[in-house]
Structure 1
Amino acid sequence: MASAMLNSTIAGLNTALIGLNTTTNYQTVFEELSKSNVHLNYAERLWASWYIWMGNDVLATGVMSFIMHEIVYFGRSIPWMIIDALPYFNKYKLQNQKVPTWKEQWQCAALVLLSHCTVELPQIWLFHPIATYFNMDYGVPFPPAWKIAMHITVFFICEDAWHYWFHRALHYGPLYRNIHKLHHTYSAPFGLAAEYASPIEAMLLGFGIVGIPIVWVSVTGELHLLTMYIWIILRLFQAIDAHSGYDFPWSLRHILPFWAGADHHDLHHERFIGNYASSFRWWDYCLDTEAGADASKKRREKKLAEIRSKKAQ
């Protein structure tokens, strides 16, 4: 219904724009649409105007998706680069003896950007036709906030499970050497290194982020592109922050004990094993794959208790 509403809005607005010259800009489209669509809020009018102005839905979604990804990824990474350059924050760094150099960070940024343009860009262009084939909505009005929150919660839980099992599999000998080793170039990770990975790993683990919502909408018939964007932005924030190498007193994991956080993933990079999940701690806890001295101590104590129990029998 929402998509049909957008299509009718486009048709009506295009008719209204017939008398304008071919250099009609985005601002003009927005103003024309706003006159006859007062029931839409400001963000919805901006969204619809973009698709109308572009005149090609695949191109509109592709350009918006790529720009959004680059702004969020590098925009969120830059603050961590600044923090790394300020000695004051060193007390919060988990491996404070390993501060990345500017050269390391720029080299990492260059490879990540190359990956975005060669590996991820083609997938971004294919996203719109695939998503709409499975009936993902991209029209206006937007879904209610409660539905957006519900979908994102489901995606976080499902993606965490996907990430845990496939990430754990990537630590199997041949898979690690040929696919995952590149991501472990930095034993003390930093924000920009979140997507520093081989193309195969980027596609495999990336399916959890993009593929799970596609499966969801194909089964339920309910998902809006805006929800998809908010989900991807939040997941990018999570991934970059988890690679930041910093654990502050106000970090989310101190508020939500089951949230993984930077300390969880930093140990994974330092020890090269354990702590395979992305967002939550429950998979590693339940399957005894936690990394770190405390987890190792608990495992030793558990084994000793089992040995004593057998001897006592």
Structure 2
Amino acid sequence: MSQVFGSNSIDIPSKESFWSVYQTIKNIPGLNIMEKLWASYYVYMDNDLFATGLLFFLLHEIMYFGRCIPWYIIDRTPYFKKYKIQPNHYPSDKEQWECTKSVLKSHFFVEAFPIWFFHPICEKIGVSYDVPFPSLLTMFYQITIFFFLEDAWHYWFHRGIHYGSFYRIIHKQHHRYAAPFGLAAEYAHPIEVMLLGFGTVGIPIVWCYFTRNLHLFTICVWITLRLFQAIDAHSGYEFPISLHHFLFIWAGADHHDEHHHHFIGNYASSFRLWDYFLDTEAGDTAKQTREKINKTKAEKTAKVQVSAEK
């Protein structure tokens, strides 16, 4: 079969092993190792729909559980107890296993089905999967935009499912653990998985629909980073090197742990902006800050009234 990569056309025999395909493609000039592996994978699979479906399913499973394993080890290592936000609450092995089974069911019976239809959507709206990849700058600004847009989506819909029957029927499952842990990041009702998950997958689709400028590899990087953010936010640990110490608008584990601890407030996923400006921050520190602000406002109002009476 003949494949075209940029301005390069190359003939690759059918029914070759992945290694044989890679040995041919690696000679194409101007491609880095990741681009060569990517091209070899799609050529070897010779079925773009299946290749993309398998790629995204494996990416999700490997990155999700791969990121959860270190947190499981940390939970079982006494040295890290001093960094635990709720130091007297650790998930038991039974809880970890029950959570794992529930998450796997969600992955296979809720998320797997739409994953296999992702490639036709990509082709329809113009998502590219050719090589070379976009520049690092292009991927950086697109992923940054996705983080802010997903954060807004997550804030409003997460806040919405905390009301009345929405909480009781849908969101209560996720709040089973008042002291969250990494594996619990995707422990949720199927409706919540689809609703909040659209912010991760749907936003890049909408972006490409209007811009016609997005690569499948960028989506892979974005999904990986979003998974890491969600798992780390549920880790239950606050370290001196935690990102929010250096990027003050970043939410982090301390922000989301307060949400699970108090069952209200801190609705955003990645950033603190929505909760700060809409006065929905959770926890004792936020309460004290609000009380201080209200007290200051009351004192100013009293002074104005006294001055007016004089």
TM over 0.5: yes
Partner of 2:13: 17
Change (3 A) 1:310 1:150: closer
Partner of 1:138: 129
Partner of 1:250: 241
Partner of 2:166: 175
Count of aligned pairs between the two proteins: 302
Q: TM-score of the superposition, structure 2-length normalised?
A: 0.93
Secondary structure in 2 matching 1:139: coil
CA RMSD of aligned residues (A): 1.7
1:268 to 249, 259, 264: 259
In structure 2, C-alpha distance between the alignment counterparts of 1:205 and 1:6, rounded to whole Å: 36
In structure 1, C-alpha distance between the alignment counterparts of 2:80 and 2:195, rounded to whole Å: 34
Q: Deviations over 1:275-296 (max 9, x none)?
A: 0000011111101000111211
Partner of 1:209: 200
Asked whether the equivalents of residues 161 and 170 of structure 2 are also in contact (C-alpha less than 8 Å), the reply is yes
CA apart distance, 1:32: 1.9
CA apart distance, 1:212: 0.5
Partner of 1:283: 274
1:101 to 88, 92, 115: 92
In structure 1, C-alpha distance between the alignment counterparts of 2:240 and 2:213, rounded to whole Å: 38
1:140-155 equivalent positions in 2, closer than 5 A: 140-155=131-146
Partner of 1:111: 102
Q: TM-score of the superposition, structure 1-length normalised?
A: 0.92
2:217 to 226, 237, 244: 226
Partner of 1:32: 24
In structure 1, C-alpha distance between the alignment counterparts of 2:246 and 2:297, rounded to whole Å: 35
CA apart distance, 1:57: 0.2
Determine whether 1:126 maps to 2:122: no
Which amino acid in 2 is paired with 1:46?
Answer: L
CA apart distance, 1:88: 1.1
Q: Deviations over 1:130-174 (max 9, x none)?
A: 122110011111111100001000000111111111111111111
Percent sequence identity over aligned pairs: 56
In structure 2, C-alpha distance between the alignment counterparts of 1:190 and 1:165, rounded to whole Å: 23
Determine whether 1:77 maps to 2:68: yes
Q: Deviations over 1:22-79 (max 9, x none)?
A: 4x210011112223x2232221111111111111001001111111110100000000
Secondary structure in 1 matching 2:26: helix
Which one is further off, 294-303 or 59-68? 294-303
CA apart distance, 1:298: 2.4
Asked whether the equivalents of residues 265 and 281 of structure 2 are also in contact (C-alpha less than 8 Å), the reply is yes
- The unaligned stretches of length 5 or more in structure 2 are 306-310
Asked whether the equivalents of residues 5 and 140 of structure 1 are also in contact (C-alpha less than 8 Å), the reply is no
- The unaligned stretches of length 5 or more in structure 1 are none
CA apart distance, 1:126: 1.1
The structure where helix makes up a greater share of residues is: 1
Runs of 4+ in 1 over 3 A off after TM superposition: 4-9, 301-312
Partner of 2:308: none
CA apart distance, 1:232: 0.6
Secondary structure in 1 matching 2:116: helix
Determine whether 1:185 maps to 2:176: yes
Q: Deviations over 1:177-226 (max 9, x none)?
A: 11111000100000000000111101111111010000101111100000
Change (3 A) 1:25 1:291: same
Partner of 2:55: 64
Asked whether the equivalents of residues 6 and 131 of structure 2 are also in contact (C-alpha less than 8 Å), the reply is no
In structure 1, C-alpha distance between the alignment counterparts of 2:288 and 2:34, rounded to whole Å: 52
In structure 2, C-alpha distance between the alignment counterparts of 1:120 and 1:100, rounded to whole Å: 25
